[in-house]
Amino acid sequence: MVQFEVKKVKVLGVDLGGTNIKIGVLDELQPGNIERVYLYPTQEPIYECLEKAIDEVMSLHPDIKAIGIGTPGFVDRKKGSVKFASENLPGWSGTEVKQKLESRFHISVIVENDANVAALAEVIFGAAKGYNNALMLTLGTGVGGGVIIDGKILYGPNGAVGEFGHMTLYPEGHSCKCGRKGCQEQYVSGHSLARRIREANMDMTPEELMQSKEHNDTAAAIVNEFTYDLALSITSLQAAFDMEILVIGGGVSHSANYWFEDLNKNLKNLLFHPLRVEVAKLKNDAGIIGAAQLIFMEG
Ligand SMILES: [Zn+2]
């Protein structure tokens, strides 16, 4: 009797966050297309929580051939370990993620920084599709990003390329959690918008601020200051990377329709040469799609 072996053609794309672990199932014949998503609350100890979640999904999908993981923090790409993660993920720093998961599940595992993973997804399937040299700037509670050169993620020896939030914008400016002063994160993050609102003695959310700028001069001034600082940040990045396109993602980008015109006005006076700037397209799926893409590209 001839026995046919089931060909393993599926991969898992894992988006590990401080609140949730999202696990997507993707088919290698349809990269960029998530078939199913499973959501688990992130609990301590984090590695055990991740392993249990993957185990559950793998028991439902026996045809998984590899796992791609995007995680916050500095990642040692070769070892697939987390060199450093913030206090949002207690105990996660130093975890040998690749080695532990591979010995548990006996399939290939790739681990990468989550902002790099999102940048990769946007370049291949999202707002920067068709471009080989792109930069993603993620404006969330903090500020991060990723750099894609010749279609590939740019790495540094410390896994820390794209820590744009800690480039200095105002040397004597607001204190940053990194211990220095005036970092970009203190001026263009969601957190910084909330601070600007507080300092103006206003009582509203950043979203409400954006919506009220047409009929509120104080709100309009804050939005202008914010987009000016963002434009300054972008010109420094252009000077360093000369990218073809910049994609803005993260929570702050969700209100971009209110402030994009202001940003373009400020950019016009500051850029060395014209730059295409777009808002991220893949939103919450970028982490899963990019993590799976690591496997399709290198697995
Ligand atoms: Zn800093």
For residue range 28-86, what is the model confidence (pLDDT) as tens digits? Answer: 889 899 999 999 999 999 999 999 999 999 999 999 999 999 999 999 989 999 999 88
Q: Is residue 4 part of a domain?
A: no
Ligand 1 centre distance from Cα of residue 119 (Å): 21
Task: Read off the pLDDT of each residue in 80-93 and give the average, rounded to a whole number.
Answer: 92
Q: Which domain, by its residues, includes 273?
A: 130-280
Q: For 189-220, how does the pLDDT look when each residue is reduced to its tens digit (9 = 90+)?
A: 999 999 999 999 999 999 999 999 999 999 99
Question: CB neighbours of 59 closer than 8 A, spacing ≥ 6?
Answer: none
Ligand 1 centre distance from Cα of residue 179 (Å): 6
Whether residues 235 and 141 share a domain: the answer is: yes
Contact 72, 86 (CB under 8 A): yes
Give me the half-sphere count of Cα atoms (radius 13 Å) on the Cβ side of residue 67: 31
Q: Is residue 2 part of a domain?
A: no
Q: For 13-30, how does the pLDDT look when each residue is reduced to its tens digit (9 = 90+)?
A: 999 998 999 999 999 889
Whether residues 75 and 108 share a domain: the answer is: yes
Q: How far is CA 145 from CA 70, 91, 96, 122, 160, in A?
A: 13, 23, 23, 12, 10
Contact 136, 278 (CB under 8 A): no
Ligand 1 centre distance from Cα of residue 13 (Å): 30
Ligand 1 centre distance from Cα of residue 74 (Å): 15
Ligand 1 centre distance from Cα of residue 174 (Å): 9
Ligand 1 centre distance from Cα of residue 132 (Å): 29
Q: Is residue 247 part of a domain?
A: yes
Ligand 1 centre distance from Cα of residue 176 (Å): 4
Whether residues 138 and 271 share a domain: the answer is: yes
Ligand 1 centre distance from Cα of residue 177 (Å): 6
Whether residues 260 and 149 share a domain: the answer is: yes
Which amino acid would we find at residue 264? N
Whether residues 272 and 290 share a domain: the answer is: no
pLDDT at 4 over 70: no
Ligand 1 centre distance from Cα of residue 166 (Å): 4
Neighbours of 194 (CB within 10 A): 15
Whether residues 94 and 112 share a domain: the answer is: yes
Ligand 1 centre distance from Cα of residue 190 (Å): 15
Whether residues 20 and 38 share a domain: the answer is: yes
Whether residues 272 and 181 share a domain: the answer is: yes
Q: Is residue 5 part of a domain?
A: no
Ligand 1 centre distance from Cα of residue 129 (Å): 31
Ligand 1 centre distance from Cα of residue 163 (Å): 9
- Ion ligand 1, residue ranges at CB < 5 A: 166, 176, 178, 183
Ligand 1 centre distance from Cα of residue 53 (Å): 33
Q: Is residue 184 part of a domain?
A: yes
- Global confidence as pTM: 0.90
Ligand 1 centre distance from Cα of residue 91 (Å): 22
Whether residues 136 and 273 share a domain: the answer is: yes
Of 168, 161, 196, 160, nearest to 184 by C-alpha is: 168
CATH number reported for the structural domain that contains residue 170 in this entry: 3.30.420.40
Neighbours of 261 (CB within 10 A): 12
Number of domains within the chain: 2
Whether residues 105 and 145 share a domain: the answer is: no
Q: Is residue 122 part of a domain?
A: no
Q: For 122-160, how does the pLDDT look when each residue is reduced to its tens digit (9 = 90+)?
A: 999 999 999 999 999 999 888 999 999 999 999 888 888
Whether residues 158 and 267 share a domain: the answer is: yes
Residues of the chain above pLDDT 90, percent: 84
Q: Is residue 3 part of a domain?
A: no
Q: Is residue 290 part of a domain?
A: yes
Ligand 1 centre distance from Cα of residue 146 (Å): 17
Whether residues 93 and 16 share a domain: the answer is: yes
Q: Say how far apart CA 161 and CA 156 lie, in whole Å.
A: 6
**pLDDT score of 143:** 92
